[in-house]
Structure 1
Amino acid sequence: MTQLPVRHLSIRVPWHDNYWNGTVCANPQNNGSCLVLKNVQSKNVALEETIKGKRFDQLQQNQLPPCLSERVSFMSPAQIVRQVNHPYSKSHSDYSHYKETKQILPPYSYAAVPFRWMMKDSKTNESWTVEEYKTNYRTDKEPDLGFDTCWVQYHKNQKELLDTFFSAIKPQKSLCFIYAKHVPLSDSCDRVLIGVGYVTNVRSIEEYDYSTKIEGKQSYIWERVVDHSIRGSWEDGYSDGILLPYHELLKLQKDGNSLDLSEFVAEAPSRDEYSYGAEHVSHGLAIDSLLVLSAALRKMEVPLKKSFDAEYKWIDARLSELWNMRGAFPGLGPVLTAFGLAEGNFIAWELAAKIERENEDPLLVNPWDLVEQMFKDPSSVLSPDLARKIGGTERSSWKYLDEVDKQYLKLLSRIELNNEQADALFDNDTRSEPGYLNVSTEDLLANPYLICEISAGTTIPVSFNAVDKALFPPANILTAFPLSDPTIVDGPLDQRRIRAASLNILENAAKDDGNSLLPDYLLMDQLNNFPLDPPISLKKHILKAVDRFLAEKIRIEAATEELPKFYKLIRLAKVRDVIKEFVQERHQDDQFSIQKDWLTLVEDALGPIPDNWPIAAKAKEKRARQEKAACLQYLATSKISVLIGPAGTGKTTLLNILCDLPEIQDGGVLKLAPTGKARVKMGAGAKTVAQFLNEYKRYDADTGACFLRDGNYYSGHKNVIIDESSMLTEEHLGALIDTFKCAGLERLILVGDPRQLPPIGTGRPFVDIITFLSPVNLAFPATGLGYGELSVICRQKEIFKISDQERIDIRLAKKYSGQISNDDSDIDVFDEINADGTWPELRLVQWNDAYDLQQKLDDVLSEELELRPGTMIEDFNESLGGSTFEKCPQGFPIRSFFNKGTADKIESWQILSPVRGYGYGVREINHSIQRSYRAQVIEYACDYQAKRIPKPRGNENVVYGDKVINNRNTTWKSWDEVFPEENALRYIANGEIGLIIGKYRKQFDKWNGELPTEVVFSSQKNHVYKFKKHHFKEEAESPLELAYAITVHKSQGSGFEKVFLILPNPCHLLSRELLYTALTRQEARVIILHQGEFKEFKKYTSGEFSVTARRITDLFGPPSIRKLGERYYDNKHIHLSVNEEWMISKSEVLIANLLSNNEIPYVYEQRLFHPDGTSRLPDFVINKYKGVDYFWEHFGMMNDVDYREKAYKKIEWYKSMGIIPLKERDKKSKQVLIMTRDMANGGIDTLEIDKIIKKEIKQII
């Protein structure tokens, strides 16, 4: 065993709904967060529901839930006994003598498994620990089991690795940090800190029991029992540790509080040290983790109305201890290794041990003094074994090393680096390899924060916190080892520190919130709340004082009387300039002169409207062709243009007509799309954006980053069409435009629906470009220079169902579009839906809780997919494209088979949910469906002796017949298999949906190797991708996940015949755009399963719930930011009256403000009912003002014939109610209709409206 220096411990646990107190969840059905862990996939919800809330120590062994093996009971006050079985005891003859073995979990303990340490190379059997930690691991002793495995098997090797790992964990010195990979408070954070305490005991390693002990065929239980110090409860407080009160926040939300709980999540500061079940945590990361926990508690004080002074005091004491353990030079070992000493870490540990032994106060001894002595005489400070390894060449290298370089290495050693980071930073040559910007050693000495600045966004980043701790250690360390010129810092407000922290905040604002810049007050607020010690306490005058230094990396836009100062990353400023200049120049440039009979072109392409179509269908089709013709003209003649419209309006049809024009064909067309599905819809030759940018060296597949660069310009086709453009970030679009710099591009056409969710990442460029290009007056057809909008939804297969009224699902989706509705329905669509729950295109099903949802969903799936009793599994398989065996192959218990042809039905139906966790999230739903329809397949796949079908893969145990989704853009390497190879794309885009198919191994096949997981994707129906073991790496995100249910975000760019939409309430992720996106995925029918009454979801039609409006961008001008409640909005994208009422249009806002200015009380959109049962929503109702009721209607699109006709009908409806138009009123009129309209240019005459208010209502002029 190698003795390691003291480290701390991270422990992964599943989410538990009752503080991990050693009981079954209080609501097992509603806990979908735990399913992120592979071992919990066998969770039996039905069983757990019968024993919910029961103590584990009072259950039978066969009742214990699988989460117990994942440390869910770490706060149990009672001892728990669990039975452990070796994974191979029932499947391999070498382990058949293993017995079920009892393991005792004492109160307040967990069984820690350091999975990364127990991994080996599956081909060579080598362990990485030999080189890094000099473990006594014997490669030659690893047994041949007849199949490849990456897990260490030889029992003495297991003990060596486990003992070495736990040698670093010292009771009462090592802290244990509890974390989870998913909590219900956030869908985006996958490493969430739960709490922290001391390790109080590390118990002995345990060996399995055997029926007969066979030498050489033994194993140790990898789970090592560790006790911890955390005691207490939320009500009584915690002692000797902390648990964050996430459960109390969830209770607040359940009580109706509209908190965004994701803001309170404590995100672990590192992925590497919070992975693999249990892992070492360095002293520096432990400091960062405590600061994150402290910051989370401070945020929680307000909503929970509680002070956490005791917790802060405990954290402060631990921070002091950690700094003493960390010391001044935690990176000494990696730096010596980078210098060229193969065992640099061991040398550093030995020097530290020598200092500890020989000095009363080790913190006052500089280890670099011993390093200097070591290079003169190694044996004077090192053991003979290590001293021999420092030869004459190494000593000479150090002797003649430049003093500046020595100073730099000493500075690096103050930073807690790993070997890879230290090697990358070592000198100018190594700094160029990971893509670090070109900086000199002198530059880094003068500003160490450059280390985190240049490494950000690379594959080897160094965090801001790591550098910050090096420069701001406690006073005792800084006094003992002061920084020297030019590194010395001048306090917490050092300009170098402020700049590096600002860069970190601006990067996160872009990545996490989509904000491409921040105003000074938001930047300061985030700087002041950065979890640092010492904190940054910044005021505006201090920020102003360092502006010049910040300007080297941050573009600063000067403040005006109306606007604050803005701060923007220079890289994003360059991206903005590329997009802005391209769009503006092309829009202002002379356009193409093409004279065509555009309507005839459309008519010729689509053919005559059939005579047998209903009158309403003919009228609708005629109108659709008119707007297509108008759009076609502007797309053909504009150098930059947008084509927008929801699904079903014929965007693809129109683009096909455009591409057939000789003027377009002469220059050729490059077709791009952000998703694989959208790429397929565009036709042959289309590429994904990532594919294209990767080809032109502007995409990093390892980091997913897009960027600008010189050279490698595109010089192909002269016309470019990009579909699903709402999914493009500013970096995406900027990199694309940068690629076209030398292409002699004639046209760039951006296509999509701006009402959908904004992109994941920076900005909303499609929306901003649409706003820039949009004509002032958008009458039908809504077209103009560079702008074309399709609005008429007309699917050919529904021709004979068309009536004067639009499909109800389309009318419902339009309510979430943020646009003025042209719906002239007698009844508001929400009232109509609540009155009747079923239509051909829409069905509503109400549920109350997760258990109720599961039952309702089972019933709905059976009805909608026509699953018959007795053949439900076969029918379910057929709904996905499977076929039923007429006669099952011998020994093959599965009655259905799947082949390449199944791809045609992969997207025939789809379940959507806004979230991943909870009982209504995609994890629990997928798990439930797999449990219901794949149980037999999973059991058969786990028969490792038969090996008839591929074994379960990935975190979600996907098996034969499962519907799956690809999770990342993947280029298939030369050694990766795809069949057939001819014409194979060898690329799978993030979000592509497929089905696991493949051959099953016949009963007497001789080959006994591991079967690959074969997948056919709906976007590549003629090819099968073979996923093998190396594609599914431990702790990495699985490339494939179950996809019976997917999130709404993942559904963007896809369409499905039938959609099952799950809507929970409350749900902080719901937004206007999310609901619009969800309600436009179906082609034929959507079944909405809603929690509570459906009318509660009407509030999301308001701009208050727009996530697009909350993005801060400046593509064509500075944003105008307004704070409403706790949220910030861009004023340009919201319509809010002076009374802070959310409205649909700017015209309504102007009228409302004029009414308020004149002190006229009004009600916005108060429903008015007719005696015949019909109703309308007047824009404004002014009740009993001077004895008269006024009803105000503002008409916006009177140039649109259809709109105008409906407006006239509305006026007649008012008249039939006895409501007299203003111009026809007399002194006896008690109900008056005021009508105003937009001017011809799309504006509104405020002077005329003010005159109406004063003269006709107030009667003062």
Structure 2
Amino acid sequence: MTEGQDILERLREGVRKGLLRSLDWQFARWVSRISGEKRDAVLLAAALVSLRLAEGDVCVDLAQYAGRPLFSDAPVKDGAVGAPALHDWLKALRASPAVSTPPSDSHDAPLVPPYSSQAPLVLDGTRVYLTRYWAFEKQLAEDLRQRAQGWTDVEPSQLGRLLNRLFPDLSLCNEVDWQRVAAAVAAMKRLCIISGGPGTGKTHTVRAILALLKWLQPDQPLRAALAAPTGKAAARITESLQKAAWNPEDAPSATDLPQAAVTLHRLIGIREGRSVPRHNPDNPLHVDVLVVDEASMIDLPLMARTVSALPPHARLILLGDKDQLASVEAGSVFADLCGRGHTPVYSGPWLERIEKATGFEMPGERRRQPGEPSPLDDCTVFLTKSYRFDQEGGIGRLASSIREGRDLPGLWGMGAAGESDPDPSTAVSTETVPTGRHLLDRLRQVALEKFAPIAVSKDIQEALARLDTFRILCALREGPTGAKAVNAAVEQALAERGHIVSGTPHVKGRPVLITRNDYDVQLFNGDVGLLWPDETDGLLYAWFRAPDGHLRKVRPLRLPPHEPAYAMTVHKSQGSEFDEVLLILPLEDSRILTRELIYTAVTRARSSVRIWGSEDLLRAAIARRTERTSGLYDRLFPSGFRAER
């Protein structure tokens, strides 16, 4: 058996053992076929890049794998596939017609393919990428660094007077008001990155920013757009802004503000079968400012396409929570933009402008130390004070402890409103996850208490409102405590009591979760609706709340792939909020259980959260951080500067 054939056969054996996917083997075989490449080292790298991309990594850092067994815990001598030594691996890749290499001295250099411009892989330093992902990462880094440079012509003194109309008197502030700082950054920069947990005032800050920008150009219309990665997230930011109360003296005209958020796919015109969005560098969006909510959910390709679709003069404001789960697809873009949690520090000239505009003296840790600067730091603000939760009790205390990786003494076995948390509006309860018949009995209780009332609602508006009050969140999709099994148990319990009709997927009162984008129907992965008859014609429809708050209906047979939505994975819950959340952990540990997953689940709840699971498992999850491999952080934050942080 020749070289190349041997590694492909061993990779295929890995597929049979379930250690990698058939797609990974097929990709390695395709690379060999189109390039004539036969070397084991190159085909092994191809399969590894494909596998890791599916796990959320943008690229593979060969230094992490060199000289180790791959796809198995078995030693190489026992038949596992072994990775070459790093020097040998790099040498083979640099000589391969399947691999392009940019100059090693610059992350931002143009792509230099040694043999073919169609090479499917890129070697950048010790990182191997699919070519399109390398291009997305490079493009995004260049666009953001350029947008972060310099500042607008807004005068700090003028801005300070306007800020005084929107924020409390400085004499009443005994600490820096970071909402005020964020508004100042957005007014004086073309890029503003705002990270904050639930209830930290992101919506209030956006409202203030839009008012500021309108006041700064009173004689011209403000072309502003609101967007979010999913329909649910777009509806939430729209609803929040519409509910926000304006001071009549400060409120801009309704015609000066965007009336509703849209999904990013709709905003930039991504359509199935079209490789380039309708809006791109050659046909940019007609906006002066773009506000994007739930930015932590945005993967690398979507973020790169969105940023590149902006005209050079436009302001980009990204809102998110750096501590939440990263996107389902590849990358942890928002966390990388936030410096992976490091406190942003401001450059000298920028610090002077911020302090003059806001009236605050920045604390010492925000002042730049010697080292190579990153322009993104000057654009970044963290909101840390929660106005929704008491930070010393209930959900607020639990969320902050998870975020910081701290233990929470006395959490386990806590009652829904025990002595340690007397405020039932922010209640936390925990208990060991039930198993077997006990689990089914408990789920039956939950189904009858929380979901049965939906079926007796007087209309679709009331039914949707009841659905949004409670949700079961599962760490996994499969397994006895996974979303699939929990949904089946809930439906069985409801059917037994006659609340839904069993045996058919389309019945009144069944919530549905869309699992695949459908651009024709304008429904997207993660959208949640409810099956309910229309009062006018009596026909059954799936009803979805549009970003502008209106309801839209779709006949069930036109729905893209979907599943029940009584329970959903924590990943699918991103961009949503519920009054109450029940989080069900698996019976055994899994690498999917991370600090970010637990934090995201807990912060979906407005008033109370229940956790079923093992105390040891929860602690292990909080200690495990999500780490995704990419080069974006290094492109945005030079190594010389990071070393000083």
Normalization by structure 2: what TM-score? Answer: 0.73
1:996 aligns to 2:531 (yes or no): yes
C-alpha distance in structure 2 between counterparts of 1:606 and 1:526, whole Å: 58
Question: Which residue of the partner structure matches residue 690 of structure 1?
Answer: 265
Shift of 1:752: 0.2
Calculate the aligned-residue CA RMSD, in Å: 4.6
Superposed, which structure 2 residues align to 1:665-704 within 5 Å?
A: 666-683=221-238, 684-693=259-268, 695=269, 699=270, 701=272
Distance 1:1088 1:541, change over 3 A: closer
C-alpha distance in structure 2 between counterparts of 1:1106 and 1:588, whole Å: 31
Q: Pick from 476, 483, 487: which aligns with 1:922?
A: 483
What amino acid is aligned across from residue 691 of structure 1 in structure 2?
A: R
Question: Which residue of the partner structure matches residue 136 of structure 2?
Answer: 575
Secondary structure at the aligned position of 1:775 is classed as coil
Shift of 1:717: 0.8
Superposed, which structure 2 residues align to 1:1103-1122 within 5 Å?
A: 1105-1107=624-626, 1110-1117=627-634
Distance 1:962 1:538, change over 3 A: same
What amino acid is aligned across from residue 314 of structure 2 in structure 1?
A: E
1:1022 aligns to 2:550 (yes or no): yes
Secondary structure at the aligned position of 1:934 is classed as helix
Measured against aligned partners, the alpha-carbon deviations of 1:595-631 in whole angstroms (never above 9, x if no partner) come to 357787567457899xxxxxxxx99xx6799222122
What amino acid is aligned across from residue 533 of structure 2 in structure 1?
A: G
Q: Report if the CA contact (8 A) 2:182-2:192 is conserved.
A: no
Measured against aligned partners, the alpha-carbon deviations of 1:894-919 in whole angstroms (never above 9, x if no partner) come to xxx64345333331111111012222
C-alpha distance in structure 1 between counterparts of 2:102 and 2:70, whole Å: 16
1:907 aligns to 2:468 (yes or no): yes
Question: Which residue of the partner structure matches residue 516 of structure 2?
Answer: 968
Q: Report if the CA contact (8 A) 1:514-1:763 is conserved.
A: yes
Distance 1:1056 1:601, change over 3 A: farther
1:792 aligns to 2:382 (yes or no): no
Measured against aligned partners, the alpha-carbon deviations of 1:857-900 in whole angstroms (never above 9, x if no partner) come to 4445666x5xxxxxxxxxx443x3842xxxxxxxxxxxxx6434
1:555 aligns to 2:101 (yes or no): yes
Shift of 1:792: 1.3
Shift of 1:793: 1.1
Superposed, which structure 2 residues align to 1:302-313 within 5 Å?
A: none
Question: Which residue of the partner structure matches residue 48 of structure 2?
Answer: 505
1:727 aligns to 2:297 (yes or no): yes
Distance 1:660 1:782, change over 3 A: farther
Shift of 1:727: 1.2
Q: Report if the CA contact (8 A) 1:965-1:1041 is conserved.
A: yes
Question: Which residue of the partner structure matches residue 351 of structure 2?
Answer: none
Q: Report if the CA contact (8 A) 1:929-1:1044 is conserved.
A: yes
Q: Does 1075-1084 or 583-592 show the bigger shift? A: 583-592
Question: Which residue of the partner structure matches residue 410 of structure 2?
Answer: 831
Shift of 1:642: 0.6
Shift of 1:720: 1.6
What amino acid is aligned across from residue 1106 of structure 1 in structure 2?
A: R
What amino acid is aligned across from residue 509 of structure 2 in structure 1?
A: G
Q: Does 925-934 or 624-633 show the bigger shift? A: 624-633
Shift of 1:855: 2.7
Measured against aligned partners, the alpha-carbon deviations of 1:131-183 in whole angstroms (never above 9, x if no partner) come to xxxxxxxxxxxxxxxxxxxxxxxxxxxxxxxxxxxxxxxxxxxxxxxxxxxxx
Q: Report if the CA contact (8 A) 1:964-1:994 is conserved.
A: yes
Superposed, which structure 2 residues align to 1:281-680 within 5 Å?
A: 291-292=13-14, 295-296=17-18, 463-465=27-29, 494=38, 499=42, 502-520=45-63, 522=65, 538=84, 540=86, 542-550=88-96, 553-555=99-101, 558=104, 565-595=126-156, 604-605=165-166, 626-661=177-212, 662=214, 663=216, 666-680=221-235
Distance 1:931 1:850, change over 3 A: same
What amino acid is aligned across from residue 1047 of structure 1 in structure 2?
A: T
1:1040 aligns to 2:559 (yes or no): no
Q: Report if the CA contact (8 A) 1:1055-1:1083 is conserved.
A: yes
CA radius of gyration, larger in: 1
Distance 1:932 1:506, change over 3 A: same
C-alpha distance in structure 2 between counterparts of 1:606 and 1:541, whole Å: 58
Measured against aligned partners, the alpha-carbon deviations of 1:471-509 in whole angstroms (never above 9, x if no partner) come to 7xxxxxxxxxxxxxxx997xxx735x7656534432432
C-alpha distance in structure 1 between counterparts of 2:66 and 2:345, whole Å: 35
Superposed, which structure 2 residues align to 1:73-92 within 5 Å?
A: none
Secondary structure at the aligned position of 2:179 is classed as helix
Secondary structure at the aligned position of 1:550 is classed as coil
C-alpha distance in structure 2 between counterparts of 1:853 and 1:655, whole Å: 43
Secondary structure at the aligned position of 2:431 is classed as strand
Q: Report if the CA contact (8 A) 2:475-2:585 is conserved.
A: yes
Question: Which residue of the partner structure matches residue 1248 of structure 1?
Answer: none
Distance 1:550 1:692, change over 3 A: farther
Secondary structure at the aligned position of 1:759 is classed as coil
Measured against aligned partners, the alpha-carbon deviations of 1:907-953 in whole angstroms (never above 9, x if no partner) come to 111111101222211122211221222347688576xxxxxxxxx2x
1:1101 aligns to 2:622 (yes or no): yes
C-alpha distance in structure 2 between counterparts of 1:939 and 1:808, whole Å: 35
Superposed, which structure 2 residues align to 1:801-880 within 5 Å?
A: 806-818=392-404, 829-831=408-410, 834=413, 838=418, 839=421, 840=424, 841=426, 842-859=428-445, 865=450, 876-878=451-453, 880=454
What amino acid is aligned across from residue 730 of structure 1 in structure 2?
A: L
C-alpha distance in structure 2 between counterparts of 1:854 and 1:624, whole Å: 50
What amino acid is aligned across from residue 993 of structure 1 in structure 2?
A: V
Q: Report if the CA contact (8 A) 1:592-1:638 is conserved.
A: no
Identity value in percent? 19
Question: Which residue of the partner structure matches residue 345 of structure 2?
Answer: 776
Measured against aligned partners, the alpha-carbon deviations of 1:397-441 in whole angstroms (never above 9, x if no partner) come to xxxxxxxxxxxxxxxxxxxxxxxxxxxxxxxxxxxxxxxxxxxxx
Measured against aligned partners, the alpha-carbon deviations of 1:20-56 in whole angstroms (never above 9, x if no partner) come to xxxxxxxxxxxxxxxxxxxxxxxxxxxxxxxxxxxxx
Q: Pick from 756, 760, 769: which aligns with 2:328?
A: 760
Q: Report if the CA contact (8 A) 1:992-1:1018 is conserved.
A: no
C-alpha distance in structure 2 between counterparts of 1:1018 and 1:715, whole Å: 22
Shift of 1:1099: 3.5
Distance 1:639 1:959, change over 3 A: same
Distance 1:290 1:463, change over 3 A: closer
Q: Report if the CA contact (8 A) 1:627-1:790 is conserved.
A: yes
Q: Report if the CA contact (8 A) 1:996-1:1016 is conserved.
A: no
Q: How many residues align?
A: 557
C-alpha distance in structure 1 between counterparts of 2:498 and 2:10, whole Å: 45
C-alpha distance in structure 2 between counterparts of 1:1084 and 1:781, whole Å: 34
Question: Which residue of the partner structure matches residue 4 of structure 2?
Answer: none
C-alpha distance in structure 1 between counterparts of 2:558 and 2:82, whole Å: 45
Distance 1:925 1:1095, change over 3 A: same
Contiguous gaps of at least 5 residues in structure 1: 1-285, 300-451, 472-486, 610-617, 822-827, 866-875, 884-896, 943-951, 974-986, 1006-1010, 1032-1037, 1121-1129, 1134-1145, 1147-1241, 1244-1261
Superposed, which structure 2 residues align to 1:1137-1216 within 5 Å?
A: none
Distance 1:835 1:1028, change over 3 A: closer
Q: Report if the CA contact (8 A) 2:231-2:263 is conserved.
A: yes
Q: Report if the CA contact (8 A) 1:554-1:567 is conserved.
A: no
Shift of 1:1070: 0.9
What amino acid is aligned across from residue 729 of structure 1 in structure 2?
A: D
Secondary structure at the aligned position of 1:1084 is classed as strand
Distance 1:686 1:505, change over 3 A: same
Q: Report if the CA contact (8 A) 1:813-1:1080 is conserved.
A: yes
Superposed, which structure 2 residues align to 1:16-95 within 5 Å?
A: none
What amino acid is aligned across from residue 400 of structure 2 in structure 1?
A: K
